[in-house]
Amino acid sequence: MKEKVEKALEKIRPALLADGGNVELVEVSDDGVVKVRLTGACGGCPMSQLTLKMGIERILKKEIPEVKEVVAI
């Protein structure tokens, strides 16, 4: 599943890079929890939780039904 998540993140990454940020995959657990690290401008942005939940998590869940949750560490 980790490869699927990486592939999906590659689709999201250009939008984050355009705003000076990025996302790094940290871990994909067996129970469907994806851990990511928001970097660059995304790391300290007050809107990062919205980006995480409404952007990254929504897209990952749509493309990979096994994903249950996306959390930032």
Q: List, for residues 23-69, the tens digit of each pLDDT value.
A: 999 999 999 999 999 999 988 888 888 889 989 999 999 999 999 99
28 beta partners: 34
Q: How confident is the model over 4-24, as a mean pLDDT?
A: 94
Is the separation of the CB atoms in 73 and 37 below 8 Å? Answer: yes
Q: Supply φ then ψ for residue 40, to 5 degrees.
A: 65, -140
Burial class (CB in 10 A: 0-12, 13-18, 19+), 35: middle
Q: Which domain holds residue 43?
A: 2-72
Q: CATH no. for residue 49? A: 3.30.300.130
The rounded Cα 64 to chain-centroid distance in angstroms is 12
Q: What is the pLDDT of residue 43?
A: 85
Q: What is the rounded CA–CA span in Å between residue 20 and residue 42?
A: 7
Q: What pTM value is reported for the model? A: 0.90
Domain total in the chain: 1
